[in-house]
Amino acid sequence: MIAIPARPYDYPLAPGSTALVVIDMQRDFIEPGGFGASLGNDVARLAAIIPDVAALIGLFRERSWPIIHTREAHKPDLSDCPPSKIARGGASPRIGEEGAMGRILVAGEPGNAIVEELAPLDGEIVIDKPGKGMFWATGLHERLTGMGITHLVFAGVTTEVCVQTSMREANDRGYECLLVEEATESYFPQFKQATLEMIAAQGGIVGWIAKLADLQAALEAEAKTVGS
Ligand code: C5J
């Protein structure tokens, strides 16, 4: 175990059993013209975390630890998108309609891709999820179990929607979950703050929160110990 300084207490990271999950770092949420912008949000807040998410991905790639990228994506015929989800946004264009980067939240459309700076590499897992959570209708739990993964480190957007939902689903399935503070963001700063507090409250009722610099320092110190 590597002790990562975290809230509410050190996170017991387990090398060999830990995967990074990068939630929905897609053009649809981060670039002008996508789903996020169509709902009236300031997408620049989300774009600002790209360098920190890239640094976190780099830590896992250096160690050849598994990385899972998710995309919120629906089939072109929208058969996996409940009418309630389409109706809910209110804005136009809605899910499935043409936006500035193709059909909104539809798999294979330009806007549905992960931003270029964080593009998955060969061998990394990419999951298309029709829900906000990463386990609903994806088969991911079975894949992670098969890989021996027990610990998940989270990054991505948005903190209070798809990141929090995925983390809660993971927590209920027994994974030890850590969210990296600088590598997640919301369109609403108060929602991010509230989510971080909710996760770590009551002795880590959903999981742990760590600073990127603390995770980096702990992993680098461990690498030096192993190398010496
Ligand atoms: C939203 C997400 N906010 N990835 N999706 O609709 O959080």
- Give CA–CA dist 17/176, Å, rounded: 10
What pLDDT, on a 0 to 100 scale, did the predictor assign at position 152? 98
Task: Please name the residue whose Cα sits nearest to atom 2 of ligand 1.
Answer: 162
Long-range contacts of 119-127 (CB under 8 A, 24+ apart): 120/67, 120/69, 121/61, 124/66, 124/67, 124/68, 124/69, 125/66, 125/67, 125/68, 125/69, 126/68, 126/69, 126/70, 126/71, 127/68, 127/69, 127/70, 127/71
DSSP 114: B
pLDDT value for 128:
98
Alpha carbons 170 and 191: distance in angstroms, whole number: 20
Q: For ligand 1, is residue 24 a contact (CB within 6 Å)?
A: yes
Q: Which of 72, 86, 160 to mutate to test ligand 1, by most ligand atoms within 8 A of the CB atom?
A: 72
Is residue 72 in contact with ligand 1, taking CB distance under 6 Å? yes
Please report the atom of ligand 1 found closest to the CA of residue 26. Answer: 4
Q: What is the pLDDT along the chain (228 residues), one digit of tens a residue?
A: 999 999 999 999 999 999 999 999 999 999 998 889 888 899 999 999 999 999 999 999 999 999 999 999 999 999 999 999 999 876 678 899 999 999 999 999 999 999 999 999 999 999 999 999 999 999 999 999 999 999 999 999 999 999 999 999 999 999 999 999 999 999 999 999 999 999 999 999 999 999 999 999 999 999 888 766
Q: 30: CA distance to ligand 1 center in Å?
A: 11
Instruction: Tell whether ligand 1 has an atom less than 6 A from the beta carbon of residue 181.
Output: no
Mutate to test the pocket of ligand 1, among 134, 136, 161, 187 (most ligand atoms within 8 A of CB): 161
Q: Which residues have C-beta within 8 Å of that of residue 164, sequence separation ≥ 6?
A: 195, 198, 199, 206
**Among 23, 160, 162, which residue has the most ligand 1 atoms within 8 Å of its CB, making it the best to mutate?**
162
CB of 109 shorter than 6 A to ligand 1: no
Q: Is 25 in the pocket of ligand 1 (CB under 6 A)?
A: no
Q: Which atom of ligand 1 is the closest one to the Cα of 72?
A: 4
Q: What is the pTM of this model?
A: 0.97
**CB atoms near residue 225 (< 10 Å):** 9
Q: How far is the CA of 117 from the centre of ligand 1 (A)?
A: 19
- Asked if residue 160 has its Cβ within 6 Å of ligand 1, the reply is no
